[in-house]
Amino acid sequence: MTALSSKSDPVGAGRAGRSAARTIGLAVLVGGLIGALFSLLLEVRLQRLVFDQWQNSAPREIRADQVAVVMIDALALEAVEAWPWPRYYMANLTELIAEQEPAAIGFDMIFAEDDPLGPHKFARLYPEMDPALAAQIGGLDNMDDTLAEVFGRAPVVLPRVGVQQYGVDPTLLAPLEPIVQGRPPAGVARYPQVLASIPTLDGVARGLATINGDPDDDAIVRRVPLTAIVNKDPMPGLAVELVRVAISAQELVWRRTTAVLGNLELPADESGRLVLRFGHFPASAVYSAAEVLDEKKGPPPGAFEGKIVLIGLGGDGTADIVATPLATAQFGVLVQAQAVDAILNRGWLSRPPWLAALEWLGGALLVTLMVLAGSAKRRRVLLVVALALAAMLPVASFLAFDGANLLFDPLRPLLIGFGAAIALEVALFMRARSERARLATELTEQRVSAAVQEGELQAARSIQMGMVPSPGALAALDPRIDIGAVLRPARSVGGDFYDALMVAPDKLLFVIGDVTGKGVPAALYMALSKALTKSILSRGSDRLAEAVGELNRDLLREADEAMGVTMLIGVLDCATGDLGMVNAGHENPILRRADGSIETLAMRGGPPFCVMDFPYPEEPARLEPGDTLVLITDGATEAQNAGEQLFGMDGTLAALGGSPEGAAATASSLADQVRAFEGDTEPSDDLTIIAVKRL
């Protein structure tokens, strides 16, 4: 007699347990690595999803005391004239703003051409004009010079636009002061050419800056550039240059990915951009140019005093429209205004390297908990701890965002933990299934060896078949329902069963179940399962989910490690057709509509009974008159022919499509087609089918 590892062999059992624990631990590690790979592949997309949601949930508060915007909007265009305006009006607008002594004035536009309505150009528009009059008009002041004079007296910052071609070689323009010091990050935008204002204006500005601010690849603006390289010279972005002029800082100094401006340290990414925490720019800080130019009222007193003022376009056909995390359409000048306010009030978002390390640490901790849960007796406690940690991660991410402007990504550790959890569940399920199958096989072989005489097995078959309702009993249940069933064990006896009974005048309870394995052991456990099912569910059919939970707990107490059972339980209201079902690891039900269409009803369900205590949900459905609900065991879908091909769900649906209309005929026809598909091969499993048709 050979020695076998079993419950009576502590050494062998311990060795097998350690081997299983190692296998489960390895599976969990592989699952965590797969989750980590997905987090890397989807990193940017997932982070945008999370951080945009936080932006919408907690937008930054922006006050109206440091930044103002003057908008050349539809009202201004109506009051003056269509864009572009003559330089006279731009000079007047700038002068009125400058009278209140703002800290800086920034233009979100370039003046790339001479004044189209300058006196010398105006006179040439009318050749027939009297020469003396033309000479008199041509001798009037050039408004470009007037605007340049106004710009020269005010703290004006003019923009430039970096372009790849069709621009101007920046070496041909006035040389730039070395405002940007240090080495900017390697990924800053580089442009060989620029579009700039005419030299008359460009040369008198207090500061020059780029206004390039390309959106992310999903067309949403989340960042503003602090620096761009034009030809070989670094230029500051418009927002940071306005702040520099306003606070009278000498230079912007780069230290790796940090830009230092006065006492401000601006954290940038590898492209030299500052990530903004957006808010809703206050309407009280936005003025129409028409309001400023009003001869009677003029600009509101103190509207611009000591503030950084941006002048931009907001009229139809002239405005720069961009999308932000808070708005699908936003004026570009308002984004620049938000950037200025963010720099002044530390309203930027940052993601220091230690945050990424913390994300990986969170994922590693979740994987560790999953590994320990795979071999620990107190598995539920460890899983609860892991679940609590997973629930805390999004909360911590939001609190870090809202309280400290930090970008902590909770999805990375969650993906890693989710991969580990899936791997753990699969490994435990496969281990339990393998163990149950092994024990079921051993028990079946022992029972069959004991039942030498065929007569004993036939008697057992007769007893088993007598435990399920006969066709006559099914037909007498309710005249509004046509119900038929077929039970064909793979051997003389098996583990499949079904039942149907009226638990109230209008309530039909029906059950289909499949016990692990085949033969006598499965049949014995089937008898126990059926008895408990009928006893518990007939009392609690109005509380189906609770009754199913009680049934599972009773079966857990009665079962050993080798046994398990899947069930699909339903309660049908024969008057209304309303249907409530609970699925415990069973095949999903199939619905054949009155018009002949067939579909499977996808159910969330839960694990088979005898695996764990689980809150099985009751899931609703409805049978219309003429509809037929078909319930099957896996003896149909897993039936194999000699070529090891599966009958499958597709074969089941196809067979139902051509089956007779009656419930009993439907069940019998499907069973016949399954056995015909198997041919001479031994049936792989018991076959049970119930058809419930609402008349």
- Across 287-295, average pLDDT: 90
pLDDT at position 7: 43
Residue 456 within a domain: no
pLDDT at position 17: 63
CA distance 552 to 183: 68
**Close Cβ partners of 425 (under 8 Å, ≥ 6 residues apart):** none
- Pick 131 or 77 by higher pLDDT: 77
Range with the lowest mean pLDDT among 34-43, 204-213, 255-264, 309-318?
309-318
Span 591-631, pLDDT tens digits: 999 988 999 999 999 999 888 889 999 999 999 999 999 99
pLDDT at position 152: 92
pTM (predicted TM-score):
0.60
Residue owning tokens 């611009």: 304
Residue 107 and residue 88 share a domain:
yes
pLDDT at position 529: 80
Q: Is the pLDDT of residue 302 over 80?
A: yes
Residue 3 within a domain: no
Do residues 107 and 331 touch, judged by C-beta distance below 8 A?
A: no
pLDDT at position 342: 94
Residue 149 and residue 82 share a domain:
yes
- Across 256-275, average pLDDT: 93
CA distance 409 to 553: 40
Q: Is the pLDDT of residue 460 over 80?
A: no
Residue 644 and residue 631 share a domain:
yes
pLDDT at position 150: 94
Q: How confident is the model at residue 12 (pLDDT cuts 50, 70, 90)?
A: low
The count of structural domains within the chain is 3
Range with the lowest mean pLDDT among 244-258, 352-366, 561-575?
561-575
Q: 478 — phi, psi (to 5°)?
A: -160, 130
Residue 372 and residue 320 share a domain:
no
Q: Is the pLDDT of residue 491 over 80?
A: no
Residue 453 within a domain: no
Residue 459 within a domain: no
DSSP assignment of 315-365, as one string?
Answer: STTT--EEEETTEEEEEHHHHHHHHHHHHHTT-EEB--HHHHHHHHHHHHH
Angle at 668 between CA 651 and CA 541, to 5 degrees: 95
Residue 90 and residue 205 share a domain:
yes
- Pick 376 or 409 by higher pLDDT: 409
Residue 2 within a domain: no
Tokens of 567: 């069930």
Task: Compute the mean pLDDT over every residue in the chain, rounded to the nearest whole number.
Answer: 86
Residue 553 and residue 536 share a domain:
yes
DSSP assignment of 92-155, as one string?
Answer: HHHHHHHTT--SEEEESS---S--TT-HHHHHHT-TTS-HHHHHHHHTSPPHHHHHHHHHHHTT
Residue 324 and residue 381 share a domain:
no
CA distance 664 to 484: 4
- Pick 57 or 300 by higher pLDDT: 57
Q: Among 346, 363, 384, where does a domain finish?
A: 346
- The domain that holds 655 is classified in CATH as 3.60.40.10
Q: Is the pLDDT of residue 516 over 90?
A: no
Q: Among 312, 328, 346, where does a domain finish?
A: 346
Do residues 125 and 177 touch, judged by C-beta distance below 8 A?
A: no
- Pick 17 or 669 by higher pLDDT: 669
> What residues make up the domain containing 212?
67-346
pLDDT at position 55: 93
Residue 458 within a domain: no
Residue owning tokens 């139902």: 656
**Residues of the chain above pLDDT 70, percent:** 88
CA distance 428 to 417: 16
Cβ–Cβ contacts within 10 Å for residue 612, how many? 14
Residue 562 and residue 430 share a domain:
no
Tokens of 662: 């009656």
Residue 273 within a domain: yes
Residue 564 and residue 513 share a domain:
yes
Span 413-426, pLDDT tens digits: 999 999 998 988 88
Residue 264 and residue 203 share a domain:
yes
Tokens of 509: 């309870």
Residue 489 within a domain: yes
Q: How far is CA 474 from CA 428, 469, 496, 564, 572, in A?
A: 39, 6, 18, 27, 14
Q: Among 346, 362, 386, where does a domain finish?
A: 346
* 3 state DSSP class of 665: helix
CA distance 443 to 449: 10
- Across 519-530, average pLDDT: 72
Residue 112 and residue 19 share a domain:
no
Residue 599 and residue 565 share a domain:
yes
Do residues 537 and 414 touch, judged by C-beta distance below 8 A?
A: no
pLDDT at position 141: 66
Bridge partners, residue 36, by sequence: none
